[in-house]
Amino acid sequence: MSDSSEDYWFKMLKLNAVGYDQRINQIKQILNEKRGYVFEKPLGEYVIILFSGGMDSTTLTDMVIKEWNSKVILLYFRRDSRNQKWEEKAVDYFHEFYKSRYPQNIVKLVKLEIQIPSRVNKQYLDETRKKIMGLPMRNATMWCNAVTQAVYLSGKYEETIRTILVGSVNEDTHSPESGHLSVLSQSLHTCICLGIWNYQFNAPLMDDSFRPRGFSKSDLVRYARENGIPIEKSRSCFEATEEPCGKCLACQNRIAAFEAANQKEPNYPHETEKKKKPSRI
């Protein structure tokens, strides 16, 4: 039986970091040898953005259209998560917002109803592992389904859709689930499995696609404020409540981003609760 302590899983994270840059360079070398580039900016091309209604994918959408004039298909996964109702509300809001702002660039919002991850046998998942490492293959499952949509929709629009973009930011750079290595390896995996070498996955907020050294979450808050994006309408909280809980990891990261950017966001419920006045006897 494997060790399920936090120390064990943190040790696994540290082992993942060993040789990280070397593995990145090896994948880049393979892609360069097979097609002559690692990532090409999809200027004026159709692209798919994995869209969650959160801060990252929301600001990414604006940059992709403004900087590259790409034609954007937003892809949302209705994956049976507990926060789905409020996450989807944000998705719908920003789909309409960007359709109004960029009517020539927003092509379609696609919603896929797929339980990710599957709940079959989920009761056996080590909770300590989940806390440290996340849900197994959560992002990779969505990414593979996004590839399928890229192939299908290329037929619908009679255009090659070779680019799939995700909203990872600087804080995610070394994450096993959503970091630079996992994004690059998805490009390689996709090309190998499809037998076509022009497909590319990228996280433009995490590299120098838009600017050197990429973007942190606080950078995205500043960008949204400077570019008239109502970022407060985005959804980060994991919980199944209309108002963000202010306590989960997503909320804590969001609060930290607003504080680092010296920006004000509407208060969370636990911050606005007023103390009850003592009753008079």
Name residues whose C-beta falls within 8 Å of residue 109's C-beta, 6 or more positions apart in sequence: 51, 73, 74, 76, 91, 92, 95
Tens place of pLDDT for every residue, the chain, 281 residues?
A: 456 789 998 898 888 888 999 999 999 999 999 999 999 999 999 999 999 999 999 999 999 999 999 999 999 999 988 889 999 999 999 999 999 999 999 999 999 999 998 999 999 999 998 888 888 999 999 999 999 999 999 999 999 999 999 999 999 999 999 999 999 999 999 999 999 999 999 999 999 999 999 999 999 999 999 999 999 999 999 888 888 998 888 899 999 999 999 876 655 544 444 334 433 33
AA letter at 211:
R
For residues 216 and 127, what is the distance between their CA atoms, to the nearest angstrom?
A: 28
Look up residue 172 and give its two tokens.
């995610």
For residues 41 and 35, what is the distance between their CA atoms, to the nearest angstrom?
A: 14
**Helix, strand, coil fractions of the chain, as percent rounded to 5:** 50, 10, 40
The domain covering 6-217 belongs, at the CATH homologous superfamily level, to: HUPs (3.40.50.620)
pTM: 0.90
For residues 146 and 128, what is the distance between their CA atoms, to the nearest angstrom?
A: 29
Determine the number of helices (DSSP H) and then strands (DSSP E) in the chain: 10, 5
For residues 203 and 205, what is the distance between their CA atoms, to the nearest angstrom?
A: 6
AA letter at 247:
K
What's the length of the chain?
Answer: 281
Sheet strand arrangement including 106-113 = 106-113, 71-78, 46-50, 163-165, 200-202
Q: Torsion angle of alpha carbons 97, 101, 103, 104, nearest 10°?
A: -130
Name residues whose C-beta falls within 8 Å of residue 271's C-beta, 6 or more positions apart in sequence: 246
